[in-house]
Amino acid sequence: MASSYSFDVVSEIDMQEVDNAINQALKEVKQRYDFKGTKTEIVLGKDEIKILSDDEYKLNSVIDVLKTKFIKRGISSRALDISKIEEASMGTARVTAKLVKGIATEKAKKMVADLKASKIKVQAQIMDNQLRVSGKDKDDLQAAIQLLKSNDYGIDVQFTNYR
């Protein structure tokens, strides 16, 4: 039996599901009556989504449709970091939504601080854009998972590599 157990805390996005959600959102927008004859686009880049529409109201509607499709595809709406709406050419409005992947260092430090403050007998170490939590008792690891699930860090977290 292993003397130490561990798991990783990650924040990942399935890019195929993101692509599917964007395609479904575009299909719905093209079929909706309030978007007939409008210039509405959703373009997936490497780590961002660019959304363009005729005005701010329609742009917000497109964002709502996209978030709904994300949730239906099993992607958290927290995976989108939507920037401020800006004016584009010919009176249109656009927005860039960054896809949040990985755990930022300051959020990982907050998670480590919460684990230390809870007095659960686990060790946490930050590894690039993920967090590894290890301990001698599986029950302590389960308690650490429950603690991390109960706190809101502003990102969607998954627990992988449980050994």
Domain boundary among 99, 132, 148: 99
CA distance 148 to 146: 6
Question: Does 32 share its domain with 95?
Answer: yes
CA distance 5 to 11: 21
Q: Which residue has the tokens 């800006």?
A: 86
Domain CATH number, residue 66: 3.30.70.990
Domain CATH number, residue 115: 3.30.70.860
List, for residues 85-106, the tens digit of each pLDDT value: 888 888 888 999 999 888 888 9
pLDDT reported for residue 98? 92
The total number of structural domains that make up the chain:
2
List, for residues 133-162, the tens digit of each pLDDT value: 999 988 899 999 999 989 888 888 888 887
Phi, psi of 123 (to 5 degrees): -115, 140
Question: Does 86 share its domain with 23?
Answer: yes
74: region left, alpha or beta (phi > 0 left; psi from -120 to 50 alpha): left
**Structure tokens given for 108:** 């990982």
Range of the domain at 75: 15-99
pLDDT reported for residue 2? 54
Domain boundary among 99, 120, 148: 99
List, for residues 36-90, the tens digit of each pLDDT value: 888 889 999 888 999 999 888 889 999 999 999 999 999 988 888 898 988 888 8
Whether 11 shows a pLDDT value over 80: the answer reads yes
Question: Does 118 share its domain with 48?
Answer: no
Domain boundary among 50, 68, 99: 99
